[in-house]
With several copies, the nearest count.
Chain A
Amino acid sequence: MDDVAIIGVGRTPFGRFPGQTAIQLGAQAVRAALTDAGLEWKQIQFGFAGSFEVDNPDAVINFLGLTGIPITDVYNGCATAASALTQAANTIRLGEYDLGIAVGMDKHPTGAFASYSEEYGLPAWYGETGLFLTPKFFAMKIQRYMYDHGISPRTLAKVAAKNYRNGSISPLAFRRTPMSEEKILTSRMVNDPLTQYMFCSPDEGAAAVILCRASVAHRYTSKPIYLKASVVRTRKLGAFEVHSPWLPLQRADAPTVFASRAAYEMAGLGPDDVDVAQLQDTDAGAEVIHLAENGLCKDGEQERLYAEGATEIGGSIPVNTDGGLIANGEPIGASGLRQVYELTQQLRGTAGDRQVPGTPRVGYGQLYGAPGTAGVAILST
């Protein structure tokens, strides 16, 4: 997929924006991406739009210009942006269009998401008995992972502290105050072993990425970033996934593992090539697990890697340099395009205080969401 280039990225701040609708935030992100690319809206030939809260995120065109282009709304839980990015890239690869956009936006009410289990193919009793909850899944996944691979609660605190610290130097992040490991460890226990400050919050924001055929990228930018791979995978039977009333005894790898392998293969790259990564940190445990699921370390190595600072901006494998979901919160439709925004800044060398030293060349982004869908994107200079 080396025939697709990223020529413009834009995002809003993430946080709380009373009086602004999700769609207005979406339009703001698109305008920022257009400015970044030096393009006008009427040059955009097609789009994909993602949102959880907004039925029709394509209505963003009301605030951009009604030019009649095809826009497809996509949704895959927290992996929504991976679907938007993948479909946009595939549309260019197909040859009909040269220039398109992926945009995501959301504006969530405060508190955990509430839905009906029947809408996920689950029986009503699953919700009625208090089992249809996302946070407790992440808690149980990391609980078992810690037992199997010797990860300590202190490491979970290190993950969160790093992400708040990175958030403090990310002008567009939601949570911009550093927090000590002690405060994170001793904050209110929400779902053991995860405390309040080890979780990200649903919030508000939008992000957009403009893609073009690589062969014409030089018309728009002197430094195109190439989208080498973008893939989505659902769960296999036996994977330990959110919203599972049961699991078979025979385990299968998580969907992230399969998405990751497919993306590496498509890109012709491997984990050793990755210079900077954005991983789905719905909670501190998720970042720990995803580091291994994406091949960036072996199971259990995280305990040492976090103690040594390997995942810091100056470390050997910087993770969530913009503070990830923990510092940015998660507007579902936008979250993965925020990852692409950050990776693009890093590969361009324009990440400012957050810049990974040594001219990073390969960036890696991963998403995971209900009901067990993973997305992986690999970018390179």
Chain B
Amino acid sequence: MAQRVVAEGLFDWPSDEPRLIGSKCQVCDLVAFPAYPNCPNCGSLDVAETRLSTRGTLWTWTRQRFQPKNPPYLGTEAAADFVGYGVGYIELPEARVEARLTGGVDEPLEIGQEMELTVVPFATDADGTEVLTYAFRPVENSAGKN
């Protein structure tokens, strides 16, 4: 099946070990995500691409239980077929990153649990092409919350 990433430069793809792509300020060291053309702290334009860590902990979460409007949302399920998805901020060593969470809306989630990066299809273009984005999933067999 044909696939495409929702945005170039958001994460490595194709890749066996994809990582999120951020930017690091060469003046004040702040890491931002996604990659910014400038530092949102000091305003410097001297920023360099940087890869973020792939594992972290769940800092907060919710579940998106109503269907976002399309556009801008690319999902095209009939309203009755919309099942919702988890959303959370993952605390990585470099920054807290907002992400869709894998698993349905009934997946139990707890602040502090370990999460890891994955890449998932979340919508399908009119021509059948699957659209991929990054997401985080609970680390299996992890010790649980922090």
Contact = CB atoms under 8 A, between A and B. Distances in A.
Nearest to B67: A130
Nearest to A127: B72
Given A64-B38, A129-B122, A248-B95, A140 B43 contact: no
Contact of B100 (A112, A114, A129): A129
Contacts of A194: 62
Interface string A205-228: 000000000000000000000000
B98 A125 contact: no
B95 A247 contact: yes
Interface stretch (A84-92, A141-149, A352-360): A141-149
Contact of B60 (A63, A117, A123, A147): A147
A350 interface: no
Contacts of B136: none
Interface residues of B, number: 49
Interface residues of A, number: 48
Given A63-B38, A246-B98, A247-B89, A133 B68 contact: yes
Contact of B87 (A27, A116, A131, A147): A131
Interface in A179-227: 188-194
Contacts of B62: 136, 139-140, 143, 191-194
Contacts of B111: 143-144, 147
Nearest to B41: A237
Nearest to A236: B41
Interface in A238-261: 244-249
Contacts of B69: 111-112, 114
B14 interface: no
Contacts of A62: 40
A355 B4 CA distance: 52
Contacts of B88: 140
Contact of B72 (A124, A246, A248): A124
Nearest to A237: B41
Top 5 nearest A-B pairs (CB, nearest first) are A127-B72, A139-B62, A144-B60, A125-B7, A246-B33
Interface of B: 6-7, 10, 22, 30-34, 36-43, 45, 59-66, 68-69, 71-75, 85, 87-89, 91, 94-98, 100, 111, 122-123, 131, 133
Interface of A: 24, 27, 31, 40-42, 62-66, 111-112, 114-117, 123-125, 127-133, 136, 139-141, 143-144, 147, 188-194, 237, 244-249
11 contacts: A42-B43, A65-B41, A65-B43, A125-B6, A125-B7, A131-B87, A143-B61, A188-B65, A192-B65, A237-B41, A246-B34
